Amino acid sequence: MTFAAFYLLSVGLYASVGAVHVLLRRRLKRQHQTRGSSPQEWPAVDVVVPVFNEAPDELDGCLASVAAARYSGPLTVYVVDDGSADSPERTAIYKRYAALPFWNILRHSSNQGKRHAQHTAFANGRGSLVLCVDSDTRIAPDSVEALARHLQDTRVGAVTGAIHIRPDGPIQRLCGVELDAIAAVDRLAQSTYGAVLCCAGAFVMYRRSALQSVWAAYLRQRFLGLPVRQGEDLHLTNLLLEAGLRTRFAPDGHAWTVAPDRLSGYARQQLRWSRTHWRELRWLVPQLGHLPPFLSLDTAVWSAPALLYAALPLLWATTSAPIMGAAAAVLAIAELLLTIARTNGHFLWPQYACLRVLVQIPVQLWALITVPSQAWLTREEVPGIR
């Protein structure tokens, strides 16, 4: 068999497996339990909001949404400023919210990284549940209770909510397609097995006892001998799954976060997220043998396109440019058809498909090549960050 034939066979296999994956996720979505039960007594919740150089209007919007949250049990808020640059606007916001009952404003003298900001709040808190909210995210008033209901099951270590995009620019609308039409369905399907593979850090609730069991490993994560300072949500999810705990998705718990408004910003964000995905395979793959086969299928379908892109130069080297071009066209068509199915025919599917074929998958390949890099890319870099 020639390499060209092998490549086309691989593309056909990817398309077939992708189609099976689409059908399975739709079936599992229908089986998902959308709402947990309300407890007789609501447990205490600590809300953790790490902040680093956040725009004052975004920070104020986030904290206002937390202040407006309706929760029937004790709720304590810890806002941790992780060494942000001096800002009179942020200082005024901190002063205003510090005056509220059960609100705590904690400040690092220097930037230490998001995990250490979380650790500061975690060490000060006492609630049996811990809700993490990014400083550019706004939560719905009933979202705290929506997530807490799922943690009545003591086998569950974490539950993530439904995250939506604001505002509404062209790139942001495509990010919305990715979150609402694709990621949300993936998480519904994964949640049916009690194994959401990424509890998104922008809006996620943990059981404190679950965090305590993995916290030391979380803080000292290393990759290729270097401390890791990205992808905290994915790594924490992997540690909880490794500990035998379940992770769930709460589609009735809503939050809204910002997305890049330019293609360059989107590419940088995808690069950071994709590096995290490739790096975290080191922790995820050993667990897949103990998880339902659908989760292995899920991981393979995400990883395969970048690997198929990587083989195109080799195809060119062993055959010719026209054959490589024809193979690339077949792969693009397969990806377009899968995108229609994954988005359930969303009216923006043509634009999103182009974004995926021309930007997202090439970025995933570059992320694999540059996986040791830990540049944040979408936030101001700080020399000497730990």
Q: What's residue 381's pLDDT?
A: 43
The verdict on 12 and 63 lying in the same domain is no
Do residues 36 and 153 make contact, with C-beta atoms less than 8 angstroms apart? yes
Secondary structure (3-state) at 383: coil
Distance of alpha carbon 351 from alpha carbon 354, whole angstroms:
5
The verdict on 197 and 83 lying in the same domain is yes
The verdict on 322 and 195 lying in the same domain is no
**Three-point CA angle 289, 178, 80, nearest 5°:** 85
The verdict on 225 and 315 lying in the same domain is no
The verdict on 108 and 219 lying in the same domain is yes
pLDDT per residue as tens digits for the range 177-227: 999 989 999 999 999 999 999 999 999 999 999 999 999 999 999 999 999
pLDDT per residue as tens digits for the range 125-180: 999 999 999 999 999 999 999 999 999 999 999 999 999 998 789 999 999 999 99
pLDDT per residue as tens digits for the range 79-131: 999 999 999 999 999 999 999 999 999 999 999 999 999 999 999 999 999 99
The verdict on 72 and 199 lying in the same domain is yes
The verdict on 40 and 18 lying in the same domain is no
Distance of alpha carbon 99 from alpha carbon 105, whole angstroms:
10
- 293-310 vs 263-288: helix axis angle to the nearest 10? 130
Q: Is the pLDDT of residue 386 over 50?
A: no
The verdict on 235 and 305 lying in the same domain is no
Question: Residue 382: which pLDDT band, with cuts at 50, 70 and 90?
Answer: very low
Q: Is the pLDDT of residue 378 over 70?
A: no
Distance of alpha carbon 134 from alpha carbon 145, whole angstroms:
18
Q: Give the H/E segment covering residue 138.
A: strand 137-139
Q: What's residue 384's pLDDT?
A: 35
Match 């590419």 to its residue by tokens.
Answer: 267
CATH assignment at residue 164: 3.90.550.10
CA distances from 147 to 121, 140, 239, 268 (A): 20, 11, 20, 30
Is 385 domain-assigned?
A: no
Is 386 domain-assigned?
A: no
Task: Give this prediction's pTM.
Answer: 0.93
Question: Residue 385: which pLDDT band, with cuts at 50, 70 and 90?
Answer: very low
Q: What's residue 333's pLDDT?
A: 96
Nearest CA-CA partner of 90 in 52, 40, 119: 52
Question: Residue 39: which pLDDT band, with cuts at 50, 70 and 90?
Answer: confident
Question: 84: domain range?
Answer: 34-288
pLDDT per residue as tens digits for the range 232-248: 999 999 999 999 999 99
pLDDT per residue as tens digits for the range 264-279: 999 999 999 999 999 9
Task: Give the total number of structural domains in the chain.
Answer: 2
How does the average pLDDT of the chain come out, rounded? 94
Q: Is the pLDDT of residue 356 over 50?
A: yes
pLDDT per residue as tens digits for the range 288-313: 999 999 999 999 999 999 999 999 99
Q: Where are the alpha helices (DSSP H) in 226-311?
A: 232-242, 263-288, 293-310
